[in-house]
Each structure stands twice: as structure tokens, then as C-alpha cells.
Chain A
Amino acid sequence: MNDNAPAGVAAGGGAASSPPGDQAPAPAGGSAGRRFLKSLGGGGGRGRMLGLIVALILICLVGAITAGDRFVDTANVLTILRAAAVLGVVSIGVTFVITAGGIDLSVGSVLGLASVWATTLATQRMAEDTHWLVMVFTAAAVGTAAGLVNGLIVAYGKVVSFIATLAMLIAARGLAEIISGRRTQLVTDSGFEGFFDGNFLGVPTIVWIFAIVAAIAWVLLNRTTFGRRTVAVGGNAEAARLAGINIKRHLVYVFALSGFTAGIAAVMMMGRTGAGTSTHGMLLELDAIAAVVVGGTLLIGGRGTIIGTVIGVLIFTTLENVFVLNNLSTSVQALVQGGIIVVAVLLQQRFAVRGTSP
């Protein structure tokens, strides 16, 4: 993961880290525009994506060779996708934050907090009286609220996002423990369980949600003003400001979005596990950041890719599946996972250098 940082600085540092004074707004706007064009599929974008797809195919090949039928089995593919869904939705939110030049370390804790809040006896009783959508709204609202707090502290409190969200990571976990009394709260509403742990057209509901969130996020990042602004803010904040973007307000939106996706992921996690607990989402932020960075989003901001993030998530979950199918020890898993991160990033760079070099 870290190996990407120096390369990222080398590749995108020119635009991102140069002092504000010496760069006129016009060329910066142009570079944002160029990035936008690239994200549509031209140049380096495609090259990076190719490296990722090669990595994913390699892992699938290893899986198919070593585990044979058990790997290519439909049920197994759905298991991989189910495992990818929660991490995937969280990672998509984090993609926006990282693209905007920030980092969100709090997503795992916020997921835990949202899951706890949505499964308290009172919330569940309210859901029983009305509809389980109450639980969904609660989780989404808690996530969004936490994200808003992050955003306000980062944008208006001028606290570095690493620190602000680190504080949220600690605080949200603490609040989740207080609310739940450190107990695992089982989901009692069978309608909720039936929906979120169920299938639609033979595919698990949470996989559908993952797909829908990914599609909306792709449009949001690549086809809307919001997306262009996110890229511009992350690429060169000063230029974006001179171009008339309200950076502070935009940052608040981006962090709120990340909190919102963490809230949605909490609902999916509750569906998967049938419970809400303060340990939900533990260390998920690191998996998410790894997936986002492996996916090709620049850690210093200014370039983001939803498809890359989705593939990054799939690489990790497929890898874990292949390991378990082959009954390998967790130590070997950890070792190879580290290696895969390095290899994936190296592959990316190789393809990217060939593809871009402006």
C-alpha cells in the first residue's frame, strides 16, 4: 500500500503539491478536465485497469486450478460476492474521500456504531411497530451524521482529515460500546433478516445493493459536477477554489457521503451476521484503504476510480476465498496478501507508465 505513495507523488505531485501562487487556475482546470476524460476510459485509466484485471484473473486461475469445481461453483462465486459487498460499499465511500485529497479512518467504527444504533431494543421495537425500514434509516442517518461531523471538523475546524477521522474512529467505537453495553444485539425482525440475508433473482440482496451503489457512485464521480469538483478539490485545492468551488462545503459533502455508505454497509453487515455489535467493522478502514489504493485511486487525491475500487475489493475477497478453499493457514494468507498488494500496485504502475506519460 505504501509503495504506491512515492509513485503517486512522482506521478501526480506536480499538480497537487506545487505552491498555489505559481499555477494559474486555467491550466489546473484543464488538467482536471483531462483527468475527467481519462476516467472515461482513455489513456492511463485503461492501463491501470488492465493491470488490476490481470491480477484478478491470475487469482481466479490459481483458484480454479487448485480448488477446481469448488471454486467455479455458483454458490462459491456468490459467497465471494457476498463477502465483497460490505467492504465494497465502504470502500466506494472512501474512494470519494481519498479522491478529494482526504482520508477516512473512521468508516469501520462508524459502521459498528450504526449497526449498534439500528439494533437497540428501542429501535427494533419501533421497527416492529412500523417497518424494518426504520432500522435502515437509523443506520444511514447515524452514518451520515458521523460523516458530517468528520467533514465539519476537517473543513471548518481545519483539522487534518487523518487526525479528525482517527478521533472519530476512537470515539464512534466508544459510543457504540456504551450504547450496546458491549453486548452483541441480535436482529429480531424477521422481515429485515429475510430481506437483507435473502436473495433476489438468485443473487443475494446485499450483492445487488453493492452493484447499485457502485453504479450510482460511478455516475456520481464521472458524470456529475459533484464528481468533477471532488477530483478538482483533491487535485489542486487552491486552483479549485480560484475556479469558484466552495471547497469547505464540498469536503463536508464528501465526508458525509463516506459516512452514509458506512451506514448502508452497516445494514448489509447486520443482514449478513444477524446482529449489531460494537466490534462490527473492526479494522475495516484498513481493508478499504488498501482496496481503494490497489484499485488505482491516488492516495494524495486528484484521481479516483470506482471500477478500480470494486476490482480491488474483489481481489482481496477472492484471495481470501482461494486460501480457505485450499485450507492454508492464516499466517500464509497474511504473507501473501501483503505480497499481492505490492504486486498489484507494481503491475498498475507498469501499465500506467506505458499508458500515460503525458
Chain B
Amino acid sequence: MTESTTWRRGVTASLAVLASAAILASCTSNAPEESEGDDGGGGDAAAAGSSNDEIGDTVTIGFSAPAADHGWMGAMTTLAQAEADEYEDIELLVAEGTNDVSLQISQIETFINNDEIDAIVVVPFDGAALTGVALEAMEAGIPVVNVDREFSDPNASRSTILGDNYGMGVSAGEYICEQVGDDSEAVIAEIAGIDSLPLTQDRSQGFEDALSDCGQEVDNRVAGDFTVQGGEQATSNLLQAAPEIDAIWNHDDDQGVGVLSAIENAGRDEFFLVGGAGSANMMRHIQEGDSVVEATVLYPASQAADGVRIARLLAQDKAMSDLVENEIPRLIQLYAPVVTGDNVDEYIDSAFES
């Protein structure tokens, strides 16, 4: 009994030590990032100037997006918010980001029932699941702008803004083709995201198609899960599977942090790495040229901000001033440029922090 009491005291004492360390650490928090402001791109673009930028009728826009559980998705919402702040005539109602489909549906329903809402911007967690409620909104006369993940019925949105997942794969493949040439021995590896997602399948398809145009193919393929730990795990195994690699395309810069960590740990540098999505972190690596990262293909996080602008124009009955058309286009698909050391300066300011 005495023995166990002493032991217990020991435990209590060590727990107390740990607890005090926790209290010590709890004074910690992240000092706010200093240079967060200008990433909206809003400033630049607005300066481009057109009559559309003049203050019009104040419009209320409902905004709903998935939970910001990674850097890119976080940037989607913050950039949309920043864009709305640029315009005095936009009032943006941002619903709490959620990965719960039924919650997102009820958010849209709330917007529909809110008489003040003039337009809705939706970044669906699951496009197909949100189609029904988006149709209801359209039928209620509220224009819906669908961003990034497409509804299964084109009538469910007035306008759709999409990134180009297939195009990302093509851009990455073409860049690697240029660098590797027609060396038939070249080993090309791919680190995908979550394989069950259509966007991953599109990216991989585009990559495969572009590579086959120059007689190359994917020799080794693994999937992370868009997380740092997943990227690290998949890459450390990949590097064992392929002792000699010429080029790697990593679908996602968020998981790229883990990918790079695994590469460093293995001490490998015989290949070059092309990233995906375009995080500020990867762009800094490209800028400094001190790592295997040579390029990254962009998947703009500013598309929700585009959605907000389009929604404003729709609500104010305006057209896109750079187009001849009198109406907003039904579909806008963004381009996936390759960011390299040559043009990284153009893109780094609008890149998202992962």
C-alpha cells in the first residue's frame, strides 16, 4: 500500500509538472501573420477599372462553402470575403463552412427564405447533393453561382465557375515532357490526392494524356490524402519503390510539405518535383531554387472571389464589361498555368498559405 501511495504521489507530481508546462504553453498563441492583407488580388483587378466597378445598388449575397480544413479551402473563403470588402455595395453573408451536406443544404434554404438575399454563391461540399436545393433557389428567382464543384443539373445554377483539374494534369504533364524530353527510360512518378474523388481522377487523366503525347507514362503512382502526414507516408514508400526517379508530380501543395519532408529524409535529389494548387510555401521554394521543387501548377483559390463578383453583377443586372455579351456567361473555366522560377513573382502574392 505504501509502495503504491508513493507511486501515486509520483504520478501526481509528474502530472502537475506536465500541467504547469501546459499552462506555460497556453500563454502561447500565434501572433497574427503580418502580410495577410493583399492576397485578395482584389486591389489589382479592381484597379483594372471598368464601369462595373462603380458603386451600384447594394446587394446581399449569401456565401456557403465547405469547412476550411486545409489551406486552399481556407483561402477560398478568406479571398471571397476580401473581395466583398472591396466593394461598398456588397453585403456578404458567410455561412459557417461545413463538410456536412445536410447542414449545407439547410444553409442554402435559410438563404432562400431570407428576403434580403439577392444572389447565392455556393462552393458545394458535394455538387450532386446540393443540386436539389440550388434548383429551389433558382426557382425562387435567386441566381445561384456554383463554384469549383459542379452541380449535377446545369439548371441549378445561373453561372458556374470551375477550376480545371484535367487542365492541371495536362499542364503538369506538358511541363514534365518538356523537361524530360523523349528519354524512354525516364521514370515519372505521381503523388495523387484522394483517389475516390472525381477531381483526383481528372487530374490523373490529364497527366496521363499529356505524358502519352510525348511518349511517357506514369511509372509509379501513390496517393496521399491531401494531408501533410499522408503526403509524407506515401512519398517515403514511393521513394523506396523507385530507386531512380526523373520527375514527380504532386497533386497538392498542402500535402507537399510532407512530400518534401520525406524527400529530405531520404536524401534524394536526382529528380525534380512539380507541385499542384500553388501554395505560397511551394512558390517560395521555387523562388529560392534550393530544393527539388521546380514548378507548381495553379488551381486558383480566388475562384470563390470570382463567384462573389459574378453574383454581384447578376444581382445588379450587369454584364461582364470585357465581353461583348449582354449577359453573364453560363460557364467560366479557369486556366491552370505552370508557375516556374521565371514567372513565380507574378503569382506569389496571390498564393495561399498552406
Contacts and interface: CB of A to CB of B under 8 A. Distances in A.
A binds B: yes
A36 interface: no
B78 to A, nearest CB: 10
B15 A184 contact: no
A275 B234 contact: no
Contacts of A182: 68-71, 74
Given A120-B29, A272-B232, A275-B261, A184 B354 contact: yes
Interface string B7-38: 10001000100110110110111110100000
- Which of B25, B195, B221, B262 lies at the interface centre, i.e. has the most chain A CB atoms within 10 A of its CB? B25
Contacts of B221: 327, 329
A86 B239 CA distance: 19
A269 B258 CA distance: 10
A89 interface: no
A208 interface: no
Contacts of A16: none
Interface in A119-138: 120-123, 126, 134, 137-138
Interface string B325-352: 0000000000000000000000000000
Contact of A138 (B22, B30, B236, B281): B22
Given A121-B30, A183-B354, A279-B229, A273 B241 contact: no
Main secondary structure of the interface of B (DSSP, over half): helix
Contacts of A280: 227-229
A196 to B, nearest CB: 11
A349 interface: no
Interface in A298-321: 320-321
B220 interface: yes
Given A182-B68, A197-B265, A280-B228, A273 B236 contact: no
B114 interface: no
Given A76-B240, A142-B22, A225-B4, A122 B29 contact: yes
A13 to B, nearest CB: 30
A179 B29 contact: yes
A141 B220 contact: no
A275 B228 contact: yes
Given A181-B30, A272-B232, A279-B228, A324 B22 contact: no
Interface residues of A, number: 60
A73 interface: yes
Interface string A151-181: 0000000000000000000000000010111
B95 interface: no
A117 B28 contact: yes
A184 B236 contact: no
A260 B17 CA distance: 13
A138 B27 CA distance: 11
A325 interface: yes
B243 interface: yes
B90 interface: no
Given A327-B220, A327-B221, A122 B30 contact: yes
Contacts of B266: 75
A15 interface: no
Interface in A177-227: 177, 179-186, 197, 225-226
B18 A282 contact: no
Interface string B121-149: 00000000000000000000000000000
Interface of B: 3-4, 7, 11, 15, 18-19, 21-22, 24-25, 27-31, 33, 68-71, 74, 195-196, 219-223, 225, 227-230, 232-234, 236-241, 243, 254, 257-258, 260-262, 264-266, 281, 353-354
Which 10 A-B pairs give the minimum distances between C-beta atoms? Answer: A122-B28, A141-B22, A324-B237, A138-B25, A141-B21, A279-B227, A141-B18, A274-B261, A76-B240, A330-B223
Interface of A: 67, 70, 73, 75-76, 79, 82-83, 86, 117-118, 120-123, 126, 134, 137-138, 140-142, 144-145, 148, 177, 179-186, 197, 225-226, 253, 256, 260, 269, 272-275, 277-282, 320-321, 324-327, 329-331
